[in-house]
Amino acid sequence: MKRSYEKEMMDRTGNSPDLLAGDLRNLRRLNRYLGGSRTVLLALQRALGREPVKCISVLDVGTGSADIPAAICAWAKRRDVAAQIVGVEAESITARIAAHQNKRMADIKIIQGDAGAPPFAPGSFDFVVASQFLHHFSEAKIVDLLRQWAGLARRGIIISDLVRHPVAYHGIRLLTRVTTRNLMTLVDAPLSVRRAFTLNEWRKLLRQADIGTVEMFSVFPFRVAAAVRLGGPG
DSSP one-letter string for 103-143: TT-TTEEEEE--TTS-S--TT-EEEEEEES-GGGS-HHHHH
* Per-residue pLDDT tens over the stretch 141-161: 999 999 999 999 999 999 999
Amino acid 52: pLDDT: 85
Residue 173 lies in a domain: yes
Report yes or no on 1 lying in a domain: no
The model's pLDDT over 95-124, given as tens digits with 9 standing for 90+, comes to 999 999 999 999 999 999 999 888 999 999
Give domain status of residue 61, yes or no. yes
- The reported pLDDT for the residue numbered 61 is 98
- In this structure, is residue 4 part of a structural domain? no
CATH number at residue 27: 3.40.50.150
204 CB-contact burial (10 Å; exposed 0-12 / middle 13-18 / buried 19+)? middle
**Residue-level pLDDT at 49:** 86
pLDDT of residue 198: 97
Q: How far apart (Å, rounded) are the C-alpha atoms in residues 60 and 230?
A: 17
Residue 182 pLDDT: 98
Radius of gyration of the chain (CA): 17
pLDDT of residue 233: 43
- What is the tally of structural domains in the chain? 1
Residue 2, in any domain of the structure: no
Q: Which of 197, 199, 193 is nearest to 176 (CA)?
A: 193
Domain presence at residue 32: yes
Q: Is residue 3 part of a domain?
A: no
Give the residue ranges of the chain where pLDDT is below 50: 233-234
Range(s) of the domain holding residue 201 = 9-230
Residue-level pLDDT at 151: 96
Q: Which residues touch 200 (CB under 8 Å, ≥6 apart)?
A: none
Q: Name which of 49, 50, 52, 131 is nearest 85 in CA terms.
A: 131
